[in-house]
Structures are given as structure tokens and as C-alpha cells.
């Protein structure tokens, strides 16, 4: 999952946003309130400035477009915070699901190892018993006086051979079922990985779009503020010319 390339273009916006958020947290206010206050600070009276000089300097209360820009910034900041909170919850939920699947896979592997060990032990015991019976059958076959015992031992040998075959087939079936379970779990891991990558991509895109909208809103607010300042300067210049 590569996130570095997605964030390089917006590193400056992220640092500015983190700095603003830390300043807002230090003052006990929200990020939107902090941005709103920054926008309105430039229009507040300076220390020692009279209301008349302040009104001459500003001309009027803050213009509605600036209020709209502050509202837009506040709304975008809240949307960014809500998006980050939702993405964090979603990723935490998927992380818990992944840990659960890992635990299930480990349990399945441990069970498989235990079953395989048990089956191998049974097969070894069957093989040893079968070899002992074969040895005894060969000794009895050399003695013509024990033909009845030879037939019984041969029947027992055949039964043990069938049992050993059945145990081997059951062990192979268990291994195949375990492999199928492992394949399904690995497929689930792959699907979860794709979902996490999709969520991170959407979060990156959402935050990038929000950062771009914030930047555009700030630029528009600055342009409107510059236009207002130029208008005020022209009015002041005209007024000074009239007074002169």
C-alpha cells in the first residue's frame, strides 16, 4: 500500500492543517472556530484605535462574502474531521477482523498438525502390528500342524490391512479439508487487503479534495479581502483629496 506518493502533493496543506489543529486544541476550540477567528482577526480594532478611526479604516462590518468563506472553511474542517474519524473506525474494524482470521488460521494449523501426528502414530502402530503378524504367519506356515491358526491369522492380517488403508484415507481427507479451509482463509485475507486499500484510497482522495477546496476558499477570501482593501484605499484617497 503506497501512501507516500498520494500525500507528497499535499504535504504543505497537511502541515498547515496539523499546525492549525494543534493551536486550536491548545486553546480548547475546534479547528473550524480557530480558522473562523483567523479570518475575522484582521477586521478587529487595533489597540488604542478609536471607533471612528476603526470605522474609517474598515468602512463597515465584515462583508458577507468573508462570512461565507469562514462558514465554508468551518464546514470543510468539520467534514475533514468526520472523514478521518470514519476512516479510523473502519480500519480498526477491519484490523480486528484480520486478527480474528489470523487466530482461526493458527488454530486450524495447530489442529491439522495434531491430527496429522495422531494419524501418523496410528499408521506406525498398524505397520508394526502388521509386520509382527506377517512374521508369525510365516512361522506358522512352516508348521503343518497349525493350518487353522494360519487361516485365522491371515484373516486378521487382512482386517488390519484394510484398517490401515482406511486410516490412511481418513488422514488424507483431513489434510485436503484443512488445505481447503486454509485456501478460503487466504482468499478472505486477500479480499480484506483489497478493501483496506480501497478505503485508504478513498480517504486520501477525500482529504486531498477537501484540502484543495480549503486552499481555493482561502485564496478567494484573500482576493476579496484585497479587493476590499483596494476599495477602501481608493475611498480614503478620494476623501483625502476632497479634504485637501
Nearest to 191 by CA among 114, 101, 88, 85: 101
Contact predicate 17/80, CB 8 Å: yes
CA dist., res. 230 & res. 217, Å (int): 20
Structural domain count, the chain: 1
Spatial separation of the C-alpha atoms in residues 115 and 27, rounded to whole Å: 62
Distance CA 141, CA 62 (A): 116
Separation CA 164–CA 125 (nearest Å)? 9
Residue span of the structural domain in which 35 resides? 4-243
Considering only CA atoms, which of 86, 91, 82 is closest in space to residue 3? Answer: 91
pLDDT in the model for residue 186: 72
Determine the pLDDT at residue 69: 58
The CATH number given to whatever domain includes residue 102 is: 1.20.1270
Q: Is the separation of the CB atoms in 174 and 119 below 8 Å?
A: yes
pLDDT profile of the chain (244 residues), mean per 10: 43 61 75 69 48 44 52 70 71 73 74 71 71 69 62 70 73 74 71 71 71 73 74 73 66
Prediction pTM value:
0.32
Do the Cβ atoms of 232 and 58 come closer than 8 Å? yes
Amino acid at each position: 500500500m503506497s501512501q507516500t506518493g498520494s500525500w507528497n502533493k499535499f504535504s504543505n496543506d497537511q502541515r498547515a492543517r496539523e499546525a492549525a489543529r494543534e493551536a486550536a486544541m491548545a486553546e480548547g476550540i475546534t479547528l473550524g472556530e480557530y480558522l473562523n477567528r483567523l479570518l475575522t482577526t484582521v477586521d478587529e480594532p487595533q489597540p488604542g484605535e478609536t471607533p471612528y478611526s476603526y470605522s474609517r479604516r474598515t468602512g463597515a462590518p465584515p462583508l458577507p462574502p468573508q462570512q461565507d468563506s469562514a462558514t465554508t472553511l468551518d464546514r470543510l474542517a468539520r467534514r475533514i474531521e468526520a472523514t478521518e474519524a470514519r476512516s479510523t473506525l473502519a480500519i480498526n474494524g477491519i484490523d480486528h477482523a484480520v486478527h480474528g482470521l489470523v487466530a482461526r488460521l493458527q488454530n486450524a494449523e495447530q489442529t491439522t498438525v495434531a491430527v496429522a501426528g495422531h494419524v501418523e502414530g496410528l499408521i506406525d502402530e498398524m505397520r508394526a502390528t502388521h509386520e509382527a503378524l506377517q512374521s508369525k504367519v510365516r512361522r506358522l506356515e512352516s508348521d503343518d500342524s497349525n493350518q487353522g491358526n494360519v487361516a485365522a491369522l491371515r484373516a486378521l492380517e487382512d482386517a488390519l490391512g484394510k484398517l490401515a488403508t482406511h486410516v490412511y484415507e481418513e488422514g488424507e481427507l483431513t489434510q485436503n479439508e484443512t488445505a481447503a479451509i486454509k485456501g478460503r482463509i487466504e482468499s478472505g485475507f486477500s479480499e480484506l487487503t483489497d478493501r483496506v486499500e480501497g478505503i485508504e484510497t478513498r480517504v486520501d482522495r477525500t482529504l486531498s479534495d477537501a484540502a484543495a477546496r480549503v486552499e481555493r476558499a482561502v485564496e478567494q477570501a484573500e482576493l476579496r479581502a484585497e479587493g476590499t482593501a483596494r476599495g477602501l484605499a481608493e475611498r480614503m484617497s478620494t476623501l483625502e483629496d476632497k479634504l485637501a
